[in-house]
Structure 1
Amino acid sequence: MAVSVRGLYFVVTLFLGSFFGSVFMLGPVLPLMLLSPAWYRWLTDRIVATWLTLPVSLLELVFGVKVVITGDGFVPGERSVIIMNHRTRLDWMFLWCCLLRYSYLRLEKICLKAGLKAVPGFGWAMQVACFVFIQRRWEEDKRHLENMLDYFCDIREPLQLLLFPEGTDLTENTKAKSDVFAAQNNLPELEYVLHPRTTGFTFIVDRLRRGDNLDAVHDITVAYPKNIPQTERHLILGLFPREIHFHVRRYPVSSLPSSSSELESWCRQRWAEKEVRLRDFYSGQPRGFDRDGVARVPPCKSELRVALIKAASLLYWTSFIALCFTGLWLWAPVRLYFVILVGVFMTQQKLVGGLELLELACHRYWKTSSVSEKNKVVDGKMQ
């Protein structure tokens, strides 16, 4: 199949937006990390959120993707863990269509594979956004999760952390592995989802709950009634999803089990429900989670406001990319700045391992300094 002009436009626009955005929008605020990680986090979350609107505007305005959202919805601004079935490798990006309407994109963090942080542009922006990168080696991941989650609790910055308990997207190969796991653990075989790995989920919920930084768990089921773009290659070929359906279930933190073992069972119950829900979705006509196609909780933004945000995003990022090329072509200082910042991003990756790790180190430094100062004051008063 030939590469699609539409697909190339989509991928190249997203890449250039993330690449130039990392250099010219996020780069100037990097020094703030050294002075105040909390203020740096507040500011960069809002800058990154402007880019997160770009895929939504391209998908819906340019390529006509229809988004249907049913279920409970969100309480705007609340702190939550979002768990979702991983039908394709692109579910995380499509979810932004839902969050733009029902929440605030600046709150979102994603738990994802560590290898992605090294991707120029996309990876740099995700590092600055303080996404949670995991190695899939639990002992290492546990320590990293502790540090990241404790940091978010310390600075009191609300977040909505997206987690895929299945660990990977649904394919023939991953389904076969899930079936083996089911046989080894006396679990039923599943057709529409993979069996969830619950260790990370229970740890994250417990840690955030202990740090008083969790209001709810949102269980989201995603489905594609017409065509399923499984990988990035499908987008390059121009095979965009014609419709994306999300069904949201909201569970207040007070309703969650208190013990880890009960929380594991609770997560498995949600996946058993997803299996039934998706079977009904794909066997019914017309395909949908709710035949009326309405959400029980209205979105926090009107469709007019969402349309204006999408139009403004498309206009801004198109102009921004053109302006960056113009600046690089015409002005030597812009080229010098560009080279320096690209060097900074690449060098810190090798020396530190990622900007999110440097941010954690800065926070620990200031936290330790603050404690030391308080101890000196107390000692001085006692003397």
Structure 2
Amino acid sequence: MQAAAYIFIQRKWKDDKSHFEDMIDYFCNIHEPLQLLIFPEGTDLTENSTARSNEFAEKNGLQKYEYVLHPRTTGFTFVVDRLREGKNLDAVHDITVAYPHNIPQTERHLLLGDFPKEIHFHVHRYPVASLPASKEDLQLWCHKRWEEKEARLRSFYQGEKNFAFTGQTVIPPCKSELRVLVVKWLSILYWTLFSPAMCLLIYFCSLARWYFIIIIVILVLQERLFGGLELIELACYRFLHKQPHLNAKKNE
């Protein structure tokens, strides 16, 4: 994740803002096509998180939700504005996810083999030109999308457990069911063989053992000394392009 320049945050805006600025400006400066996945609600849907969301709704005069949590719009609006200023924003994709059968909540469910039988996605693309210009209007726009999500999910779970769709469904050739099935089984076979093969290699080959030890030491040290590979990458870019240094901080 560090090598892919993920944006690590502390979930405290006063601590995260400068790091967001640094990383987003870096992506804009290098003109790197960016896919940034954000969960404005900040956590998963549980009884505790729903109670906190309802408290937030009461304090701010908002309706209470059953199927979603109220979004915290500060980070969302900042990211959209920053990417828009850097001319590195093409569109915002609003994605709603639903599980018609079972909803695994913890790692325990996965260990017990309780995987989702189906996952349904509703995707709506909003081109950048359709987004509000001001921060306040963008916050209202985000809250409006969550109102729609609540209604969409209520209709999903209380109805036929399917998202309403008008139009023609087109499956790209690269996503044919046969190809997906082949890739799935090849992936299972690969990772089933890869993990024990690496363990055997480390056990029988001293060169492989030293290689893994050295790599682990390097990764741990750079994390402790510099904060992560993505910050090293950012510092190198600033040095080579004479960019001013900002106090970017990252915390896992």
TM-score (normalizing by structure 2):
0.90
Supply the distance in 2 between the matched residues of 1:295 and 1:367 (Cα, whole angstroms): 49
Q: Which of 223, 232, 245 is matched with 2:98 structurally?
A: 223
Identify which of 48, 70, 81 aligns with 1:195: 70
SS at match of 1:162: coil
Do residues 302 (structure 1) and 175 (structure 2) align?
yes
RMSD (Å) for aligned C-alpha atoms: 1.9
1:334, distance to aligned residue in structure 2 (A): 0.7
More strand by share: 1
Q: Name the aligned partner's letter for residue 142 of structure 1.
A: K
Q: Which runs of 5+ in 2 are unaligned?
A: 244-252
Please give the secondary structure, in 2, of the residue aligned with 1:230.
coil
Aligned to 1:253: 128
SS state at 2:122 partner: strand
Q: How far apart, CA to CA, are the structure 2 residues paired with 1:365 and 1:225? A: 51
Aligned equivalent of 1:360: 234
Trace 1:115-126 onto structure 2 (pairs within 5 A): 126=1
Which of the pair is proportionally richer in helix? 1
Aligned position for 1:168: 43
Letter matched to residue 258 of structure 1: A
Matched, 1:240 2:123: no
Which residue of the partner structure matches residue 152 of structure 1? 27
Q: Give the distance between the partners of 1:300 and 1:139, measured in 2 at CA.
A: 46
Q: Which runs of 5+ in 1 are unaligned?
A: 1-125, 370-383
Letter in 2 for 1:147: D
Structure 1 residues 300 and 165 mapped into 2: Cα distance closer, same or farther (>3 Å)?
farther
Distance 1:300 1:364 in 2: 42
Q: 1:171 & 1:344 partners in 2: Cα distance?
A: 39
Where 2:79 maps in the other structure, the secondary structure is: helix
Take 2:227 and 2:172, find their aligned partners in 1: how far apart are those partners? 38
The C-alpha deviation readout for 1:108-132, integer Å capped at 9, x for no partner, is xxxxxxxxxxxxxxxxxx1222111
Matches within 5 A, 1:244-283: 244-283=119-158
Q: Which residue of 1 aligns with 2:186?
A: 312
TM-score, normalised to structure 1's length?
0.60
Identity %: 59
CA distance, structure 1, for counterparts of residue 7 and residue 165 of structure 2: 36
- What's the secondary structure of 1:222's corresponding residue? strand
Corresponding pairs, count: 242
- CA deviations 1:165-200 (Å, max 9, x no partner) are 001111110111111111110101111101100010
1:326 pairs with 2:204: no
Summarize the Cα distance change of 1:297–1:157 in structure 2 as closer, same or farther, 3 Å threshold: farther
The change in CA–CA distance for 1:306 and 1:366 in structure 2 (over 3 A counts) is: farther
